[in-house]
Structure 1
Amino acid sequence: MKLIVGLGNPGKEYVGTRHNAGFEWIDRFAEMLHVTLKPEIRFHGLCAHVDQKDTDLWLLQPQTYMNVSGRAVVALCQFYKIQVEEMIVIHDELDLPPGIVKLKKGGGLGGHNGLKDIAAKLGTQDFWRLRIGIGHPGDRSAVVGYVLHPPRKEEAQLIAEAIERSLEVWPLLAQGACEAAMLKLHTKT
């Protein structure tokens, strides 16, 4: 892996919301690695560079708002010649309950506008995704309000635990052993 993208919306009003689970993952990972995300105008986001043995690794939080996340992803991928199979996108997932985290490659986009924009800009949806469960409000018309608000206390705890569990499989992902990471992650949840 050469690029980890955490999806969310910029701005204080979105901190801690369900839709910012990807940002939370990146914040936690950056903290573990003792790196600081800094604004990178050319990549339309907050970035950090990490030396991982023989591989350069980039962390990215697009600051373009969720619906146009692809702009930041493509800018960084093109500049550093990062291939689709060398990146993973971390995002909130309505179809999984809080506390569940799943890894997958490709497949449907589940109506997630951030994923849709990334797939459209890359010309493929065949990239790795780490899906952090946030649950569903039960009514399709309530989704927008639901994802843009903080989870209840017990849900927030489950989401935080899922993020921590997913960080444990990073060494496998770093080696490109995504199938092994998936097996380990999915047998823990």
Structure 2
Amino acid sequence: MWQFLSRLFEKQNLIEETNPMKKYLIVGLGNIGEKYENTRHNIGFKVLDFFANKEDLTFETQKLGDITTYKLKGRTFILLKPSTYMNLSGKAILYWLTKEKIPLENLLVITDDLNLPFGSIRVKTKGSDGGHNGLKDTQLQLNTNKYNRFRFGISDAFSQGRQVDYVLGEWTPEESDKLKERLEKSVELIKSFGLAGINNTMNSFNGK
């Protein structure tokens, strides 16, 4: 009887592990390297680093990115920080979607957004790249603009012609003070995406 139950549990665990509907790819966009670490453009990396620290996860360098895995209530969250630099983010995303056999609807891409006030959250299921090179390459590689993205507002508080300096600049002391609460909210959003679905997550977090 024990052997039968043991085989049954093993089979159930195998089903859960191989069921693509329970696997999610969470991608934080950013640039590798110490000089980019605390820049606004790297908020995707920052969110995933905060998640990993909070849940005691360790990233490992693998093909096209740093990867770690988090399991919660039967769901597997694969957290990816592409090592391709921002402009080739889609290459890493497509590779890991394919490798892990994750359906497109289970992808969530975290990116900075100049058009939103600092710390604002907006989750969407489709949209243009808005001039963002990471999203531009993602759309090119996936051959669609219909994928889930979590846009984190960094505001547009820069003077004319200074956009690049602004997005590649570091957070102000005031922004840094407010970031922790926003990062906590971001972790809640990611878990909600896997547990409650994209529509419920949009309803619960957009504008919060």
Moved more, 171-180 or 94-103: 171-180
Q: How much does 1:149 deviate?
A: 0.9
Rounded Cα–Cα distance in structure 2 between residues aligned with 1:173 and 1:162: 16
Query: Match for residue 141 of structure 2?
Result: 121
Q: How much does 1:83 deviate?
A: 1.6
Q: Is the contact between residue 132 and residue 159 of structure 1 (CA under 8 Å) also seen in structure 2?
A: no
Q: How much does 1:158 deviate?
A: 3.2
Query: Match for residue 123 of structure 2?
Result: 103
* Counterpart code for 1:104: K
Alignment equivalent of 2:186, drawn from 159, 163, 166: 166
Whether 1:89 and 2:109 are equivalent positions in the alignment is yes
Structure 2 stretches lacking a partner, 5+ long = 1-22
Q: Is the contact between residue 103 and residue 131 of structure 1 (CA under 8 Å) also seen in structure 2?
A: yes
Structure 1 stretches lacking a partner, 5+ long = none
Whether 1:34 and 2:56 are equivalent positions in the alignment is yes
The alignment's C-alpha RMSD in Å is 1.7
Q: Is the contact between residue 99 and residue 161 of structure 1 (CA under 8 Å) also seen in structure 2?
A: no
Rounded Cα–Cα distance in structure 1 between residues aligned with 2:83 and 2:77: 19
- TM-score w.r.t. the length of structure 2 is 0.83
Q: Is the contact between residue 75 and residue 195 of structure 2 (CA under 8 Å) also seen in structure 1?
A: no
Rounded Cα–Cα distance in structure 2 between residues aligned with 1:171 and 1:62: 20
**Which protein has the larger Cα radius of gyration, Structure 1 or Structure 2?**
2
Rounded Cα–Cα distance in structure 2 between residues aligned with 1:144 and 1:121: 24
Alignment equivalent of 2:41, drawn from 5, 19, 28: 19
Query: Match for residue 52 of structure 1?
Result: 72
Q: Structure 1 residues 50, 168: CA separation in 2 closer, same or farther (over 3 Å shift)?
A: closer
Rounded Cα–Cα distance in structure 2 between residues aligned with 1:160 and 1:109: 27
Q: How much does 1:157 deviate?
A: 2.8
Match of 1:82, SS state, is coil
Q: How much does 1:175 deviate?
A: 1.9
Moved more, 132-141 or 103-112: 132-141
- TM-score w.r.t. the length of structure 1 is 0.91
Query: Match for residue 200 of structure 2?
Result: 180
Q: How much does 1:169 deviate?
A: 3.0
Q: How much does 1:125 deviate?
A: 1.3
Q: How much does 1:139 deviate?
A: 4.4
Alignment equivalent of 1:6, drawn from 21, 28, 32: 28
Query: Match for residue 18 of structure 2?
Result: none
Q: How much does 1:176 deviate?
A: 4.5
Moved more, 91-100 or 137-146: 137-146
Q: Is the contact between residue 110 and residue 150 of structure 2 (CA under 8 Å) also seen in structure 1?
A: yes
